[in-house]
Amino acid sequence: MTTALAPAVFADVVGQDDAVAILARAAAAAGHIVAGDPVPPGEMTHAWLFTGPPGSGRSVAARAFAAALQCPRGGCGECVECHTTLGGTHADVRVVVPEGLSIGVNDMRALVLRAASAPSGGRWQIVLVEDADRLTEQASNALLKAVEEPTDRTVFLLCAPSAHPDDVSVTIRSRCRVVPLRTPSAAAVADVLVRRDGVDETTARWAAAVAQGHVGRARRLARDPDAQARRRAVLAVPRSLSNIAACYDAAEALIAASEAEAAAATEGQAATEKAELERALGAGGTGKGATTATRGTAGQIKELERKQKSRATRAQRDALDRALVDLAAFYRDVLMVRLGAAVPLVHVDIEEMVRAAAARWEPEAILRRIEAVLSCRTALEENVKPRIAVEAMMVTLLQG
């Protein structure tokens, strides 16, 4: 939970008191800049990099900060500026959310061009890039030029897992103020589920524990029976690996489940986008000019379909990665029990299964299984075909 004196827009930034204090001071300094008053050096800058592990709330913190910058009262949470910024409709806040595996140079150039203009109605022109680690090299170069030569009222907010050169280029990192976020405690996540989402305390504590500090995942587990069923299916994998054939069956089931989850999350949006584009291009129109108006639209529809396919691929890999995180946590629990470590289990609801596995496997074999899951995650990040990566992992999990 954030401090009581923090602006209201930061209420959903869970367990990040130090970061919220920094951002609140910067928002106050930004208000003085708008008013033409002097501010202490370093309190406010034009480029910020929010870092932290998945689920730490990088994009939530960045959006809250954007709202605080646009708000005349530094983030009251009640005004039009706060509501439109948090809702994604503020005219002077551009949010870049990668729909596919990467953020391309054309998209970034268009945003940089818009960012160079003066605010149309707000106090600042803000570009917020979620998952800045997915910028292509060309897109990163386009962003760097804008960050190196910013206009007076433009602010760049970048989100990435870390400030390492593998995630953000050294030159961009050197021009940003870094706001490090940490994984919030299970207690902090449970508190926000109860307070904001109305989840009962017992369910909130369970969801916060098994989600390992990931607020979004905890919310899904607390409220979505399908998410709970998918987790149970993943945790049943270790017991199902009795032979090589079972490994391939388990891999097939895991991939099919991730594909189904991704399809459920993206198909409705894809159909709506295509229908809206076709209407905008004149589909279904009649009259003398209708045929002429619809000529040459095939390329635009094909480009939309390409982006949708890329988004679906990303959604599938994200779903598969969530399953692998659960699986890695299971083997971690087994290792902790085997070694007699006095630490809480992640999967508290399957303690009996964890202890049974710990009684059968040696620590070295458990470690090899953990490494197999982590290697599979790395392979997926490097665009290895999911089926190959998961099948290889399953065989190692069987052999130990």
Domain 8-180 has CATH 3.40.47.10: no
183 pLDDT exceeds 70? yes
Three-state SS letters, the chain: CCCCCCCHHHCCCCCCHHHHHHHHHHHHHHHHHHHCCCCCCCCCCCEEEEECCCCCCHHHHHHHHHHHHHCCCCCCCCCHHHHHHHHCCCCCEEEECCCCCCECHHHHHHHHHHHCCCCCCCCCEEEEECCHHHECHHHHHHHHHHHHCCCCCEEEEEEECCCCCCCCCHHHHHCCEEEECCCCCHHHHHHHHHHHHCCCHHHHHHHHHHCCCCHHHHHHHHHCHHHHHHHHHHHCHHHHCCCHHHHHHHHHHHHHHHHHHHHHHHHHHHHHHHHHHHHHCCCCCCCCCHHHHHCCCHHHHHHHHHHHHHHHHHHHHHHHHHHHHHHHHHHHHHHHHHHCCCCCCCCHHHHHHHHHHHHHCCHHHHHHHHHHHHHHHHHHHCCCCHHHHHHHHHHHHHHC
One-letter identity of residue 251:
A
What is the tens place of the pLDDT at every residue in 281-311?
666 555 555 555 455 566 666 766 666 677 7
327 pLDDT exceeds 90? yes
Predicted local confidence at residue 314, as pLDDT: 76
What is the tens place of the pLDDT at every residue in 136-164?
889 999 899 888 888 888 999 999 999 98
Confidence tier at 264 by pLDDT (50, 70, 90) = confident
Confidence tier at 371 by pLDDT (50, 70, 90) = very high
Q: How far apart are CA 389 and CA 400, in angstroms?
A: 16
Q: pTM above 0.95?
A: no
Predicted local confidence at residue 4, as pLDDT: 47
Q: Specify the higher pLDDT residue, 355 or 270.
A: 355
From 191-200, 241-250, 333-342, the region with the lowest mean pLDDT:
191-200
What is the tens place of the pLDDT at every residue in 190-216?
998 998 889 999 999 999 999 988 888
317 pLDDT exceeds 90? no
38 pLDDT exceeds 90? no
Query: Is the Cβ–Cβ distance between 374 and 351 less than 8 Å?
Result: no
Q: Indicate the average pLDDT of the chain.
A: 87
Domain 244-270+304-399 has CATH 3.40.50: no
330 pLDDT exceeds 70? yes
Predicted local confidence at residue 60, as pLDDT: 92
Query: Is the Cβ–Cβ distance between 154 and 125 less than 8 Å?
Result: yes
Q: Specify the higher pLDDT residue, 215 or 237.
A: 237
Predicted local confidence at residue 3, as pLDDT: 46
272 pLDDT exceeds 80? no
Confidence tier at 273 by pLDDT (50, 70, 90) = low
Q: State the average pLDDT over residues 246-271.
A: 82
Predicted local confidence at residue 207, as pLDDT: 93
Confidence tier at 2 by pLDDT (50, 70, 90) = very low
Confidence tier at 338 by pLDDT (50, 70, 90) = very high
Q: How far apart are CA 134 and CA 167, in angstroms?
A: 8
